[in-house]
Amino acid sequence: MKNTLFKKKILITAGPTREYIDPVRFISNESTGKMGYAIAEALHQMGADVILVSGPVSINSSFPKNKIIQVISGNDMFTECEKYFKTIDIAIFCAAVADYTPIVTSKIKIKKIENNTSLELQKNRDIAYEFGKIKRNNQIAVGFALETNNIHENAIGKLKKKNFDLIVLNSPNKNEGFGFDTNKITIIDSELSLHSFPLKLKKEIANDIIFYIRNSNKLVTSENKLEQIVV
Ligand code: C5P
């Protein structure tokens, strides 16, 4: 199969974000970044020009350090990604960006009080959604959906709302999703066809996802498409 991704400019987001409440406390999630880094490594090896915008993770990766932009919060991740929106060919939104962030971050450690307390949160901007609004016809966007219920409906809803060309659906079951080396995914394309895969290593899944990107209508003509062999 022709390497349609050679020299393509690809933006990948990976890992969690941290939304600080005070200097030592934050809101985050269990994302380890393994999936995003696995995709970045595979694409880099194929000769793509990859920029990885990564939240705080501890990963031993062969992906070149000078191609990683380290960020902390969802707002930082948005700011860095936005710089690339116009020039990239493909965006892969793997990051588990926190949906909400504290309205105020205290500069000093918040003291315990006698009574209950509450935290006021505001919505983080959605990187994938904002890119989807300005995406050109020749740009490809790939999203992820981690769902626990109405999984297909929710994933399809996100595919449409965020103008993705592909969405990768997974669930937080044992050995799947956050933290594990393995995952079980279904890829849904813009024609709403479902492609389900067995439990595999994230490194192998990266290649399955890349196969669908390479085979996208935007990169190959219908006569050059290859059939995927699911193993
Ligand atoms: O959080 P949600 O399930 O809506 O995430 C779906 C997709 O949107 C994922 O690909 C995620 O990386 C992306 N996203 C984003 N910016 C956000 C929230 C989600 O890019 N603030």
The reported pLDDT for the residue numbered 115 is: 94
Q: Which atom of ligand 1 is nearest to the CA of 13?
A: 12
Range 108-118 average pLDDT: 94
Instruction: Pick from 13, 126, 168 the residue to mutate for probing ligand 1's pocket: most ligand atoms within 8 Å of its CB.
Output: 126
**pTM for the complete prediction?**
0.94
Is any ligand 1 atom within 6 A of the Cβ of residue 131?
no
Task: Out of 3, 29, 116, 163, pick the active-site residue.
Answer: 29
Is any ligand 1 atom within 6 A of the Cβ of residue 209?
no
Q: How far is the CA of 108 from the centre of ligand 1 (A)?
A: 30
Is the domain 9-105+120-216 a CATH 3.40.50.10300 member?
yes
Q: Is 29 in the active site?
A: yes
Is any ligand 1 atom within 6 A of the Cβ of residue 93?
yes
Residues of the chain with pLDDT > 70, as a percent, come to 94
pLDDT at 231 over 50: no
More confident call, 4 vs 95: 95
Rounded to whole angstroms, the Cα distance separating 161 from 143 reads 11
pLDDT at 137 over 60: yes
Is any ligand 1 atom within 6 A of the Cβ of residue 95?
yes
Which stretch of 15-24, 114-123, 130-139, 177-186 has the lowest confidence by average pLDDT?
177-186
Q: Which atom of ligand 1 is nearest to the CA of 147?
A: 3
pLDDT band at 222 (very low <50, low <70, confident <90, very high): confident
Is any ligand 1 atom within 6 A of the Cβ of residue 158?
yes
Rounded to whole angstroms, the Cα distance separating 68 from 113 reads 41
Is any ligand 1 atom within 6 A of the Cβ of residue 126?
yes
The residue ranges of every structural domain in the chain are: 9-105+120-216
Q: How far is the CA of 193 from the centre of ligand 1 (A)?
A: 21
